[in-house]
Each structure stands twice: as C-alpha cells, then as structure tokens.
Chains A and B, each alone.
Chain A
Amino acid sequence: MSDDGAAVVAAVEAVAERLERERDHLTELDSAIGDADHGGNMARGWAEAADAARDLDDPEPETVVKAVGKTLMSEVGGASGPLFGGSLVFASAEITDGITAETAVAFAETYLEKVEDRGDARLGDQTMVDALTPAVHTFKKSIESDDIGTLEALAKAVAAAERGVAFTVPIRARKGRASYLGWRSVGHQDPGATSTLFILEEVLATAADELDADVPAVDAASPTIPDDETEADAADEE
C-alpha cells in the first residue's frame, strides 16, 4: 500500500464521518428548496464509498478515488450521483501517477470541468459550482505562486469555498431543483455547495494530519477573484 493511497482512504473515511454528522443539517438545507434527500443520500453514499475504499487490496490514489466515484454513482442516484461520483471517476485519470502539486491541480480542474459540463451550471447558478470554482481557482493560483506551500494552498482553497457557500445565499438558483422556485430560492444556502465545502474541509484536515502539521491559518479575505488569465477564459466561454 502506498502512503498516498492510505492517505486518500483516510480522507474518504473522514468525509464519510463528517457527512454522517452533517446529515440533518444538509437535509434541513435541502428541504427548504429541494426534495430533502441530500443529507441522507450523501451520508449513505459516502459510507458505502468508505467501505469500498477500505476493501481495496492495494490502494493507490487513483484506484481509491475511482472506487469512491463508482460507489457514489451507483448509491447516490438522482443528479448527485453523476455530479459528485461521475466527476470523481473522470478526474481520477489525472492522478494515475500519484499525487503531486501539479497532478492535484489537474485533478481539481478536471473535476470542476466535469461538474460544470454535466450539470450545465456555472458560477452564480446557486449550485455546488459556487463552492468549487473559487476553491479550484484559488488552489491553482496558490500552487503556481512560489511562496505558498501545498497545504497552505489547500487551506486557501477551503477558505475560498467557504466564501462561495456564503455567496449562494443571496443569489437566485438557475440550475437544479431549487431553480423551479425562481426568486423564492433567494435567501437559501445551497446544500450541494455546502456538502462540497464539508468534503474539502475533511480533505484539508486529513492532509494536515498526514503531514503532521497544523491546518495553516489563512487570510479569509484573501483575493479569490480570478486573475486576468482566468477572467479572459470566462469571457471566452460566454
């Protein structure tokens, strides 16, 4: 077993435990704007995923992530299966050679791209993309700057996701079941963005644990606005 493979299994277990603890919280968020199944689905799906990860004979980061994605795909159902699970399966191809700062960035970008494509959602639609996009951009930008370590980059990404979750509250849902509420979706925190944040927080905590380090304190107000290059990309897409 590679150390990294074991670390990914540990992260999955941490996520499963966290989502079980947050089950009622997520159900409450979802019952306000959806069909109240997100808490149960995620808790059940990730518990099964943790079992699948533990059952692997020789876990490598890629095989663990792929097994988790496949399990979520078959256990979570609805739109969350393809979004949370399918995207993991596709992104796992980026870490076939293990996890480095560079492959982690590629993994994060592919994951975001798959979620955006599958859900046809973009930043500002009140979906999980609102937590993912700032997290992925911040992670990438931080890794690319020479003076920020990988763990700190991950911490910055989590802080960015947290702000992304807060950003879902005042906006109107344009994708997902909440979008049928129209303006009535305003004022509600998106459950998918919230569970995405929980997942990222547990990945960060596990990474810190594995490195025997404290979770770095980061400036919550650090800029997460995409830099010039990514702004240009966004403009191209429109």
Chain B
Amino acid sequence: MKKLINDPDDVVDEMIDGMVAAHPDRFRRLPDTQVLVRDDAPVDDKVALVTGGGSGHEPTHAGYVGDGMLDGAAAGDVFSSPTADEFEALIDACDAGDGVLAVVKNYEGDVMNFDTAIELAEMEGVEVDSVVIDDDVAVEDSLYTSGRRGVCGTILVHKAAGAKAAEGADLAEVKRVAEKVVDNVGTMGMALTSCVTPEKGEPTFDLGDDEIELGIGIHGEPGTERTESMSADAVTDELTEAVLDDLDLDDGQEVLTIVNGMGGTPQMELFVVNRRLQELLGEHGLETWDAWVGDYMTSLDMMGASITVCAVDDELKDLLGAPADTPALTVR
C-alpha cells in the first residue's frame, strides 16, 4: 500500500518534528525523547495534566496540549506505549510543584509503563496520581487490555480535567472531575476498512467489500462482530443503542456527543451519522447539550467512526465549555 512516508522507522520522530515546526510557539520537544510539552511548561500554580500512548491516533495526544487542556504528551511508536522513562521525563518536565495527573487509556502497556513512571517520579518527590479511561462499551477484554479499552471519551477527560486544573484546583479535585467523566461516558466504534500501519504496509485485518466490523478498537484490532454492510442510519442505531444500554441514562438527561472519524472517513459521512444520532437521542428522551463532529481519536487511515455519549451536569458543562486553546480543539 502507498504511504506518504520516508522510512517506517522514522515516522514518529519526523511527525513530532513536523508538529513542533507547525506550532513553534506552542510546543517544546524534550531532548532525546518523543515527548512534547507546552512551550511554557512547567506552568506555575497549576496541577499539570499529562497523557501519552501509541502514535497513529492523531490529533491524539499532542494535539490537545495547550491552554485549558494538557501540559504535555508522550508519543510511543505506532500503536505501542511510550516507555516508562519517557513518561517519567514528561512528568518531570510538567510538574511545577502542584502535582501531576496522568490520563491513561486502559491498555496493558500504557498502564504498566505509566505506573512505573509514576512510582519513580514519586520517589523523586513529585506528587502524581492517575486516572484510567475505559469508555469502550464493545468489549470487556480485548487483544490489548484486561477490562474495557480507553478510546475517544479520553478527549473529554482532557477537556474537563484540563479546565479544572486551569482554575487552580488541587490534584484531588482535578482527579475527581476526571473520574466523573469516566463514570459518565461511553463509546463504541465501527470500521469500513482496516487501518494500514507504516511498519506492515498492509491491512491489519481483512474486510470484504460488502462487510463492516462493529466494536473495533483504535489499533486495527478486529471488532466484536462482523456484519454485512449497512446504511449510515442502521450503523448509527447499532452503535448508539450499545452505548445507551451501557450508560442507562434517565429521561431528560443532558448529554454531549462525539461522532469521531477514525482517520479515513469523509466529514460528509460523519455529519450524516450525527444527523441520525441526534434524532435517536430525541427518541430516547435525551437532550443534546453539545455535539462534536470530527477526527479526535483516530486509527491511522481507517475508514469508520465511533460514537461517544457523555452525560453532563452543570459542573461538567462548565468545564467542557470552558475556554481551551490547543491545535486540535479550541473552545472560546
């Protein structure tokens, strides 16, 4: 398969340099690492919010580094966790003495490497805590996790916890709102095509012309169910019902929704999905407070989409609606 790359081994390194070149006033790359932090890190009088994970999910993770969201992000190789020493460098660079909250998606490699980094940072006297995101309602255990996977709901954790940190809240408070999002969010995704990793150069799973995969993750791992191709409305119904079943919301509940593209999906199709999603929420007696549509948490060039629903109360609305200024998400 054709790819707009040089050497697969250099993709992540070159991507990070390109990101810094695009945003020299926003980002600083820590020497000899794949870690990007805010140019003004560590930011005084603020809990630092950090994250990281495999590359290939752009604009996740570094795209959300900036005012009102993350202080820094570590990029692993494509679909592989950053190593513990990179996470440790990230924590050290962002800590201004008010503590650090690490946002970790639930994958074994990410969790173990972050946990090791946190323990090492604590030995150096840094106050660090973590929150693990597991919003994917499709699976209990997957190829990469025990328990549910962390997917697109993570963006809302970055947003809410980032806003809380920007208010000057302490570490426990920032963690509390992060967990509040985790408790109230669910996501399910589907694919029309597999993704193609730079390393392998061919699809990671085979999908026939008339087939789609439901319940996919974000690493090209197969989904929970393969079915015949369906209309956008039928797909939207499948995904949304699964998420709503899991969340079990009360009538009249306000929600924020995300229709997220997996990297290779035309915006046109995402909006078609969003149209049906909003219709369906109305049928369920739910009220949409805000609806986001776009590529937030991708899987390289995969065609497909995920639907995220997050129940919001006044506190979460304040935080999710608070100003943020990052390359991938701006709220005014």
Contact = CB atoms under 8 A, between A and B. Distances in A.
Interface string A200-217: 000000000000000000
Given A77-B80, A86-B116, 7 more contacts: A74-B83, A77-B109, A78-B80, A81-B116, A82-B115, A86-B112, A180-B141
15 contacts: A70-B85, A73-B83, A73-B116, A77-B77, A77-B109, A78-B80, A81-B83, A81-B113, A83-B112, A85-B84, A86-B112, A86-B120, A119-B112, A179-B146, A180-B143
Interface string A172-185: 00011101100000
B119 A90 contact: yes
Contacts of A74: 83-86
Contact of A86 (B81, B84, B86, B141): B84
A79 B112 contact: yes
Given A70-B85, A73-B85, A89 B120 contact: yes
A79 B85 contact: no
B108 interface: yes
B108 A73 contact: no
Contact of B81 (A77, A83, A177): A77
B84 A81 contact: yes
Contacts of B108: 79, 176
Nearest to A180: B143
A66 to B, nearest CB: 11
A180 B147 CA distance: 12
Nearest to A174: B146
Interface string B104-128: 0000110011011001100000000
B141 A82 contact: no
A118 B112 contact: yes
Contacts of A119: 112
Contacts, number: 52
A81 B114 CA distance: 11
A102 B86 CA distance: 34
| Main SS at interface, chain B | helix
Interface in A57-74: 70, 73-74
Given A78-B109, A180-B141, A180-B143, A118 B81 contact: no
Contacts of A176: 108
B84 A82 contact: yes
A180 B145 CA distance: 9
Contacts of B85: 70, 73-74
A181 to B, nearest CB: 11
Task: Give the 5 A-B CB pairs with smallest separation, nearest first.
Answer: A86-B116, A82-B116, A82-B112, A74-B85, A73-B84
Interface string A75-114: 1111101110110011000000000000000000000000
B80 A118 contact: no
A120 B146 CA distance: 11
Contact of B109 (A70, A75, A79, A85): A79
A118 B120 CA distance: 13
Contacts of B119: 86, 90
B83 A77 contact: yes
Nearest to B33: A74
A89 B120 CA distance: 9
Interface in A36-70: 70
Given A73-B116, A90-B119, A78 B143 contact: no
Contacts of A118: 112, 115-116
B113 A82 contact: yes
A62 to B, nearest CB: 14
A177 B77 CA distance: 19
Interface in B119-141: 119-120, 141
Interface in B28-84: 77, 80-81, 83-84
A147 to B, nearest CB: 38
A81 B141 CA distance: 22
Contacts of B113: 81-82
Contacts of B112: 79, 82-83, 86, 118-119
A83 B146 CA distance: 17
A31 to B, nearest CB: 16
Contacts of A70: 85
B78 to A, nearest CB: 12
A81 to B, nearest CB: 5
Nearest to A35: B143
Best-surrounded residue of A73, A83, A89, A90 (most CB of chain B within 10 A)? A73
Contacts of B142: 180
Contacts of B116: 73, 81-82, 86, 118
